[in-house]
Amino acid sequence: MLSQVTATRYIEPLRSGGSVPGVVEADDLGTYVVKFTGSAQGRKALVAEVIVGELARRLGLRVPELVLAHFDPEIAAHEPHQEVRDLLNASPGLNLGMDYLPGARDFTPEVAQACTVDPVEAGRIIWLDALTVNVDRTVHSSNLMVWPTFGTAPPRLWLIDHGAALVFHHRWDASAPEKTYDFRHHALGHFTPDMRAAEAELAPRVTEELLREVAEEVPDAWLTGEPGFATPGELRDAYVEYLSARVKASEAWLPTDFPTREELAAEEALRAAKTRQGRPNWLKRVPDLHGKPAAEQDWSVHLG
């Protein structure tokens, strides 16, 4: 089962994502990035984090350690921003923590250009994302970290932020297990991912027993009150049954069509041109930062 810790010091909010997680220190002397039950994404995002993160770990992919973090908003009374305080005040009790990776960098397009990613590893990560319907690992928002970044050690990819996965649990009756999703713009798609090798390796390992073990990691409190399910156990069964059926239907959804770097650049240039055509004349004189290569952009505009 996931370890449980108690947050003892609130350090700062992270504003890089919509859920505004917070960096905290805990009574085990660890530092964690905590995602809160009071965020706009709600408890289902935390359920997805646990199920996808722990499934990834059991399949041999790198995911920062997850913990159940007990949080008292009083330790963050010094937080100056009202919207963040509102989030923290709405999140007493059990929340989800992820081990903080000091010195880790986002896997941005610039970092990706300098990295070599093994096609087998790329295939494994994309296969997991396709299985769990994680459409939030794109070239523009990779939800990957590169760590370590020191010495002569080669950088390694770590998977983070799976709260947007398992999209089927937002409408249980509207998504068939064999449904396909667009993964052409996956963050690792242009590393020639070996999807057939990933399928052959991972599909036999994602058994009903493994899925049930992962689902058991989710606290009952995050599985209560779901319409159509009388108990947390019933809801856990639904996750297990859906993902089991999706594994068996992998031939229908296995992504294999990925654009090259050059094709991605061409698509981005076309998109930028269409955007500029649709602007009023006065706005056409404003630089389109999103249409430029990242290296040519003035990031001070974005970062203030």
Strand ordering across the sheet containing 105-106 = 105-106, 144-147, 156-159
CA atoms of 128 and 121, how far apart (whole Å): 11
Of 149, 145, 180, the residue nearest 162 (C-alpha): 145
pLDDT-derived band of residue 296, with 50, 70 and 90 as boundaries? very low
Domain ranges of the chain: 3-99, 105-253, 261-297
CA atoms of 20 and 267, how far apart (whole Å): 31
Of 197, 61, 66, the residue nearest 137 (C-alpha): 61
Rg (CA), the chain: 20
At 170 the pLDDT is 94
CA atoms of 112 and 248, how far apart (whole Å): 32
Sign for the CA dihedral angle at 16, 20, 23, 27 comes to negative
At 301 the pLDDT is 33
Strands 93-99 and 3-13: unpaired
What does the pLDDT average to over 81-98? 97
CA atoms of 212 and 202, how far apart (whole Å): 16
What does the pLDDT average to over 70-99? 97
> Does pTM surpass 0.85?
yes
At 175 the pLDDT is 84
At 267 the pLDDT is 80
What does the pLDDT average to over 139-150? 86
Question: Which comes out higher in pLDDT, residue 30 or 269?
Answer: 30
pLDDT at 160 over 80: yes
